[in-house]
Structure 1
Amino acid sequence: MKKNILLAFTLMAALSSCNDWLDKTPLSDITEENYFRTETDLQLFSNNFYNTILDKSPYDQQSDVYVQQELSDELLGGSNRIVPASGGGWTWTALRNVNTLLGNIDKCEDEEAAVKYSALARFFRAYFYFDKVKRFGDVPWYDKELFSSDEELYKARDSRELVMTNMLADIDYAIENLPAKEEETSSPFRVNRWAALALKARFCLYEGTYRKYHNVSLDGHDYAYYLEQAVKAAEELINGGKYHLYSTGNPEEDYLMLFAAEDANPDEYILAIKFDYGMSLYHNATAHTLVPTQGRPGLPRKLINAYLMKDGTPFTDRAGWEKMPFTEEVKDRDPRLAQTVRTPGYHRIGQTEILAPDLSVSVTGYQPVKFVQDPTASGGQVDRNDRSTCDLPVFRYAEVLLNYAEAKAELGTLTQADLDKTVNVIRDRVAMPHLDMAAANANPDSYLSSAEYGYTNVTGSNQGVILEIRRERAIELTQEGFRFDDLVRWKAGSCVNQSITGMYFPGAGEYDLSGDGVTDVVLYTGDTKPDKKDAQVYKIGSDIVLTEGESGYVDYHHNISRTAFNEERDYLYPIPINERSLNPNLTQNPGWNDGLSF
């Protein structure tokens, strides 16, 4: 058995990248005689699934509503997106590990443990394949250990319908056989049946909306079937009553504190990734937004404009919104805005010093604060690179509520009662007025449907409420790794082409951005730099570029060439050249030219 396992791993590694091989779990001690026998064996072997399959840095993923100094290839488009020789997401080590466990689990002498860890492995296999389907569409389905003589190593890609059907079988088994929350500890760091329901709701919503907006029709299930499955899974989780949104009754802080807290909130975080100072487990979220060498991230003005006024009306209905200066535009807005970026009055958690947005570390001026911890966290080192220790969400209850509402809206079965138990529960946390379905559909927000800022392909009687759910999703889930996937499934690549600009400045002068009456930023023209030692001083046209020359929006990326999103190519990623060379049965995705012809 040991020889066969290693042969399978070695050959599959040859069909992937060298880095993929180096990342695999060492198997030198695995034999038929001494492993997979006990629950401890199964747990130890499966622990690596959490590390290799879950995303440990969702906070820095770029999209049309979150950018950095160096734009991602997806935002640059055109020839910046190429067919890689290897890598490119076409890695299979994690799946091999999952299938190794499933292929050996009948050796376990504890039948209950065997069922439990079979369910866990099938959860992770569904999670793994969801990532592959999002990225590549059709992919080979492997559900068993493969050996050197197996012709399946060189099989063609299977249809996404076959893969999705198998994913549903896996996740339904996981839902049926994973322990419920009350049967384990309250720790959100282990997969339970509620996490499985959350995953099912997530990937079924993705598949349903992808097929609807891309007009995909395959033998098997239609888009409505997947949306109905998303509704059922989310509804079961909601009705289970095991989770609720974190709230202390303070709408001005609760959203911020949820993400900055050292420990994941077990009532809202269904599954989280553990980080811990004492265990030297870190990520980079705090330094990412504070250290100028970490990407200088910022939210574009497009998203800032989407936050509603505190009274529930659109900001973009206000006269003069297009050229409103920072301190005016952020007044009386949805409280999540001030808990997502620095606004007047901002101070670090546990501190009293008022801090202005720092234009030297944010390319738009809208400086993120989500996941930014108390400066005393991590032994006082949290502001250093890779020293953040707040736990990161994989699934949280707010996403499930949004998934339920969106799936029903796209099916045409959404009711006001549905909104009241989902979107409006989310709004209640920040004391925002409720979303009224009839009013939204009677008067869809033109900002959200415009070619310049929104989505042009949402139509029908539910247009208004679908747009509002998308607004809520962009705001509530920002920096959680969903946005680019959302654009793909909505066939909204045009959003990638929209302008990336920041704060508006009417011209040279002194600006108080923190609201404490003290000048924070000085913009000037000419050759004489103002002597303002306690302020950020920038020369217009060189240190800072504005869209209209001496006035306008911050336009950091003005000299970067961006090519329009390719509607015929860019919704899927290419299969790496080396993989197709090794396996000529792998067809390339549409629009990607890798120079191979067979």
Structure 2
Amino acid sequence: MKKILYIISFLCLGMFSSCEDAIDLQPKDKVDIEGFFNSATANDLQMFSNYFYSNLLSQSMENKPTLLDQDDVKIDQELSAVLKGGTYRTVPSNGGGWSWGVLRRINTLLEYIDRCPDKAAVKQYSGVARFFRAYFYFEKVKRFGDVPWINRQLGSDDPQLYAPRDSRELIMTEMIKDIDFAIEALPVVSAEASAPYRLTKGAALALKSNFCLYEGTFRKYHEISLDGNDWRYYLEQSVDASEKLMSGQYGKYSLVTGSDASQTYMNMFAAQDANKNEYILAVKYDQGMQILHNANAHTVVPTQGQPGYTRKFICSYLMKDGTRFTDIPGWQTMQFVDEVKDRDPRLTQSIRGLNYHRIGSKEILAANILTARTGYHPIKFVGESMMGSINMDKNDMSSNDLPEYRYAEILLNLAEAKAELETLTQTDINRTINELRKRAGMTGMLDMATANANPDPYLDGSISPESGYFNVTGANKGVILEIRRERTIELVQEGRRLNDLFRWKCGKMIDQPMYGQYFPGPGAYDVTGDGVADIYIYAQGTAKPSGPASAQYYEIGKDIFLSNGNSGYLDNHKNQNRQGFNEARDYLYPIPSDDIELNPNLKQNPGWGSSKS
């Protein structure tokens, strides 16, 4: 333990301190960096690498779990700068994701690990380090595009500190080398006692599946052609990684199933412990260790963001039999009780629906418009309100494990990559998309030929610009739209949506209407399906109606806003200044201005200039 503490102290001296100077500053009775690795055990290497998990994984407490993120389907009352766009997005002086300290730690481990006498541990933890280096660079490429490739420790006078950005093709090539090494070096899930909380071959394959899908589709839809590999190569790599993971030869994974499909999806995310069959990699939370997140409070406490799903998203859910909700006459003005009936069962396992009650309680709860401003009240990741004497609804008191990678995502990746490559078959659909639908309890399955013969106009931006995707063409247009529907529904609040829009060149979908439930006018409304009014809406300046104390009462124009004045969709974001997505600028983030001043060889991303915020 002392060695670990000393080595962490050494690393905390920062990225730009030279290794030799830092070691010279250590008291003589402390273990230096070389001495640490000369006698390091497997446990030492594990403890050294723990920092990577807590500081890189997107679902870790330090990184604010992605279930809190906003995009075009899940929004808070105060929209993020990305959703507002325009002048709300500025060039920061520092920070902004342009940080490199974790990479130095990774490269430190790789530089010295061969000194360790335990060669089996050397192999495994070299795999861990190279996994996290690929993970680190995936986050950088998504955010900034071209970035400097650094695969060694840098001293304070190293010329590479002033190097220009490297091509994303070079970065991706090196990432594939790293992740292929990790796939070979890491254990299978059955040999890792701490799975799914520690890295395995399956986790490495999942990362490769993801970043290759991202790169292939980003290049395809943004029409990027670089020296080296093309977009097809990366999609083929994604297919290969997905197929290997699904084969079972690199560890066995499967979808969670249960006797009651109406509860399975919801219960999986609310469970305290990650399901080892479906969760390929997860972040551990624990009440006893006070490692906690904010899932419950975020959705039940009015001061924690007031998140809600958008009506655009709700309308994309199919009927349980696989037919389109948006093909039903009058769907545009359908009220809540009717619009949630007989839908894809994941809908009412993701929002408060008919007869909803919290896990561990029998009290029926209505969607609360003060807590979820669209009226579509999220429940994904929401667990019990009490654990013994612990109030789980207080701020940062949730302790259910969160998924970094799920098997469901790999099925979606395979289907999408093959659809884009035009190699998808109905057999592929049956073992991916239709397996997800079966797990959800749907009776209607996806038929590839039917989807391509009749693409859903609601999902087609050329027909429905207020709800659809742009730029989707070709023989597989219909099935690609269906796969996107499935991906959005299955992975909602798992941190994928915004990057999906960016790689598909659909940033303009951020500008689509952010409406909520439909109300035809002032009146009393049942939203739980028991025939008793839960919500009373009354015209501005009129008397508050009488009703039960347990009901919700809202004055139009004061407590809530409707799209047509006294009727229409909840439009509680109407007064926020949404300036629009900038197609020429907003697919990439700006490099902080201070870093550009320090390194004149860094060039700012298009449209951002170099001014400080």
Task: Give the alignment's TM-score, normalised by structure 1.
Answer: 0.95
8 Å contact from structure 2 (residues 455, 478) kept in 1: yes
Q: 1:468-507 counterparts in 2 under 5 A?
A: 468-507=482-521
Partner of 1:467: 481
Q: Alpha-carbon deviation of 1:456? A: 2.1
Partner of 2:599: 583
1:536 to 552, 574, 577: 552
| Alignment partners' CA distance in 2, 1:110 and 1:14 | 29
Partner of 1:195: 203
1:174 to 167, 171, 182: 182
Q: Alpha-carbon deviation of 1:185? A: 2.0
Partner of 2:27: none
Partner of 1:566: 582
Partner of 1:436: 447
8 Å contact from structure 1 (residues 347, 353) kept in 2: yes
8 Å contact from structure 2 (residues 91, 611) kept in 1: no
| Alignment partners' CA distance in 2, 1:217 and 1:350 | 54
Compared with structure 1, are the counterparts of its residues 276 and 461 closer, same or farther at alpha carbon in structure 2 (3 Å cutoff)? Answer: same
Partner of 2:421: 411
| Alignment partners' CA distance in 2, 1:76 and 1:29 | 51
| Alignment partners' CA distance in 2, 1:61 and 1:512 | 30
| Alignment partners' CA distance in 2, 1:167 and 1:407 | 19
Q: Alpha-carbon deviation of 1:380? A: 3.1
Partner of 2:75: 67
Q: Describe the superposition over 1:425-456 as per-residue Cα deviations: whole angstroms up to 9, x where unpaired.
A: 11110121211000000000000002110112
| Alignment partners' CA distance in 2, 1:30 and 1:295 | 47
1:347 to 357, 368, 371: 357
Partner of 1:25: none
Partner of 1:98: 106
Partner of 1:39: 42
Q: Alpha-carbon deviation of 1:534? A: 2.1
Misfit runs of 4+, over 6 Å: 2-9
| Alignment partners' CA distance in 2, 1:401 and 1:377 | 34
Q: Alpha-carbon deviation of 1:165? A: 0.3
Q: Describe the superposition over 1:350-399 as per-residue Cα deviations: whole angstroms up to 9, x where unpaired.
A: 21111100111001010000000012237432111100011000000000
| Alignment partners' CA distance in 2, 1:30 and 1:321 | 69
Compared with structure 1, are the counterparts of its residues 353 and 9 closer, same or farther at alpha carbon in structure 2 (3 Å cutoff)? Answer: closer
| Alignment partners' CA distance in 2, 1:41 and 1:162 | 33
Compared with structure 1, are the counterparts of its residues 189 and 103 closer, same or farther at alpha carbon in structure 2 (3 Å cutoff)? Answer: same
| Alignment partners' CA distance in 1, 2:192 and 2:389 | 31
| Alignment partners' CA distance in 1, 2:478 and 2:197 | 37
Q: 1:12-411 counterparts in 2 under 5 A?
A: 12=15, 30-35=32-37, 37-56=40-59, 57-185=65-193, 187-240=195-248, 242-377=252-387, 379-411=389-421
| Alignment partners' CA distance in 1, 2:152 and 2:9 | 14
| Letter paired with 1:34 | F
| Letter paired with 2:352 | R
| Alignment partners' CA distance in 2, 1:43 and 1:505 | 56
Q: Comparing 71-80 with 522-531, which one deviates more in the overlay?
A: 522-531
Q: Alpha-carbon deviation of 1:14? A: 8.5
8 Å contact from structure 2 (residues 596, 610) kept in 1: no
Q: Alpha-carbon deviation of 1:33? A: 1.7
Q: Describe the superposition over 1:31-90 as per-residue Cα deviations: whole angstroms up to 9, x where unpaired.
A: 322346221211110011100000121101100001001101110000000000111000
Compared with structure 1, are the counterparts of its residues 575 and 128 closer, same or farther at alpha carbon in structure 2 (3 Å cutoff)? Answer: same
8 Å contact from structure 1 (residues 8, 147) kept in 2: no
Instruction: Give the match's secondary structure for 2:346.
Output: helix
8 Å contact from structure 1 (residues 189, 271) kept in 2: yes
Instruction: Give the match's secondary structure for 2:281.
Output: strand
Compared with structure 1, are the counterparts of its residues 4 and 543 closer, same or farther at alpha carbon in structure 2 (3 Å cutoff)? Answer: closer
Q: Alpha-carbon deviation of 1:186? A: 6.3
Q: 1:452-463 counterparts in 2 under 5 A?
A: 452-463=466-477
Instruction: Give the match's secondary structure for 1:253.
Output: helix
Compared with structure 1, are the counterparts of its residues 378 and 102 closer, same or farther at alpha carbon in structure 2 (3 Å cutoff)? Answer: farther
| Letter paired with 1:528 | A
Counting matched residue pairs gives 584
Q: Alpha-carbon deviation of 1:567? A: 0.6
| Alignment partners' CA distance in 2, 1:4 and 1:152 | 24
| Alignment partners' CA distance in 2, 1:370 and 1:8 | 38
| Alignment partners' CA distance in 1, 2:282 and 2:155 | 35
Compared with structure 1, are the counterparts of its residues 457 and 328 closer, same or farther at alpha carbon in structure 2 (3 Å cutoff)? Answer: same
8 Å contact from structure 2 (residues 7, 36) kept in 1: no
8 Å contact from structure 2 (residues 134, 178) kept in 1: yes
8 Å contact from structure 2 (residues 17, 155) kept in 1: no
Q: Describe the superposition over 1:508-550 as per-residue Cα deviations: whole angstroms up to 9, x where unpaired.
A: 0111111122221100113312233221101011111000000
Instruction: Give the match's secondary structure for 2:33.
Output: coil
Instruction: Give the match's secondary structure for 1:523.
Output: strand
| Alignment partners' CA distance in 2, 1:5 and 1:40 | 15
| Alignment partners' CA distance in 2, 1:585 and 1:172 | 31
8 Å contact from structure 2 (residues 37, 113) kept in 1: no
| Letter paired with 1:280 | Q
Instruction: Give the match's secondary structure for 1:95.
Output: helix
Q: Percent identity?
A: 56
Partner of 2:542: 527
Q: Describe the superposition over 1:256-302 as per-residue Cα deviations: whole angstroms up to 9, x where unpaired.
A: 00100110000000000001111111100111000011100000000
Partner of 1:556: 572
Instruction: Give the match's secondary structure for 2:537.
Output: strand
| Alignment partners' CA distance in 1, 2:14 and 2:184 | 34
8 Å contact from structure 2 (residues 16, 156) kept in 1: no
| Alignment partners' CA distance in 1, 2:387 and 2:145 | 42
8 Å contact from structure 1 (residues 7, 148) kept in 2: no
| Alignment partners' CA distance in 2, 1:31 and 1:536 | 62
Compared with structure 1, are the counterparts of its residues 14 and 547 closer, same or farther at alpha carbon in structure 2 (3 Å cutoff)? Answer: farther
| Alignment partners' CA distance in 2, 1:334 and 1:422 | 17
Q: Alpha-carbon deviation of 1:579? A: 0.6
Task: Give the alignment's TM-score, normalised by structure 2.
Answer: 0.93
Q: Comparing 33-42 with 81-90, which one deviates more in the overlay?
A: 33-42
Structure 1: segments with no counterpart, 5+ residues: 16-27
| Letter paired with 2:282 | A
| Alignment partners' CA distance in 2, 1:496 and 1:32 | 51
Structure 2: segments with no counterpart, 5+ residues: 19-29, 60-64
> Aligned-pair RMSD on alpha carbons?
1.9
